[in-house]
Amino acid sequence: MNERLILMGVIGKPHGVRGLLRVNCFAEDSGALAEYPLSDRTGRRFSLEWVHDNVAQLSEITAKGNRAITDRNEAEKLTNTELFAPREALPALEEEEFYLTDLIGLKARNEAGVEIGSITAVHDYGGGPSLEISPGALLVPFTRAAVPVVDIAAGYVVVVPPVEVVVPS
């Protein structure tokens, strides 16, 4: 998987006995997930069709064509599978918009412009995204107050950690 992939959703628990699955969608418009070419971390390709709410019929795309997942046991094996879409398949962004994955690799500077590390990961455990800055594994909430400047083109962010966050020296 050498193309740039964006995490678009995660397959949840089966719904019923006919292979339907719950899908937690990370796209702004969950309906759009059915329009993207999807793959997992191993390169298996999938398509989905929404049945209702967050429940979908998934099909694995093989050399022989689409093969619908119609069995609960097979569906159970897909639980927690992450679904990715190629970056180029996603809509164009407006000015000053970016995907969270664009932040990974950017340099992190303090308010004085001194480099304090690089963003190595973006985490979101439900309370909003946070940036992991290494070295030191500094975690900073990704808010306007803590990260007032994001300059993707120049390759850096300015970080003003909240007083509760201890900055390693």
Q: What ranges do the domains of the chain cover?
A: 5-89, 100-158
pLDDT band for 167, please (50, 70, 90 cuts). low
- Contact 50/117 with Cβ under 8 angstroms? no
CATH 2.40.30.60 fits 5-89, yes or no: yes
Which residue from 150, 152, 115, 149 is spatially nearest to 138, judged by alpha carbons?
A: 115
User: β-strand 20-25 against 55-62: which pairing, if any?
Assistant: antiparallel
How confident is the model at residue 95, as a pLDDT? 83
CA dihedral 77, 24, 65, 42 (to 10 degrees): -60
The domain 100-158 is placed in CATH, from the list 2.30.30.240, 1.10.300.10, 3.20.20.100, 2.60.120.470, at 2.30.30.240
Banded pLDDT at 2 (limits 50, 70, 90): very low
Mean pLDDT over all residues of the chain? 91
**CA torsion, ordered 128, 129, 134, 140, to nearest 10 deg:** -40
